[in-house]
Amino acid sequence: MLICISEIFLWRKPLVHERIGFNQSEADIAAPIVANAGLYNGFIATGLIWGLLTNTNAATVQLFFLSCVFVAGVFGAVTLRWTTLILQTLPSLAALIAVWYVNYLM
């Protein structure tokens, strides 16, 4: 979760971006991409923690993670490029449908 917070909220601070070799102007340019990665990483971290702390079945965990990837793809399409819908959101939607079909409709 610390990575998520750093990427979304603290990225533009020199203490964060200079640690990996970005100057302020480069950090400002990369900020939307880094924020997208932070959201994605936050979803994944939350899913992992949730999966460890509950006794849910595999389909529920799969649906949760895939939903997170879907939302992150929509966020990427809004903040970065529309092509994120094709590269990230559509595959996650296809996987969501497949998991739902196999586990609940068959």
pLDDT given at position 57: 77
Range of the domain at 69: 2-105
pLDDT at 6 over 90: yes
Average pLDDT over residues 37-50: 86
For 80-89, what is the mean pLDDT? 87
Percent with pLDDT over 90 in the chain: 51
User: What is the DSSP-derived secondary structure letter of residue 18?
Assistant: G
Contact between residue 42 and residue 4 where contact means Cβ atoms under 8 Å apart:
yes
Higher per-residue confidence, 83 vs 23: 23
Rounded to the nearest integer, the mean pLDDT of the chain is 90
Distance CA 73, CA 36 (A): 9
Total tally of structural domains belonging to the chain = 1
- Per-residue pLDDT at 10: 97
Q: Answer whether 89's CB lies under 8 Å from 70's CB.
A: yes
Q: What is the pTM of this model?
A: 0.68
* Backbone CA torsion sign across 37, 40, 96, 98: positive
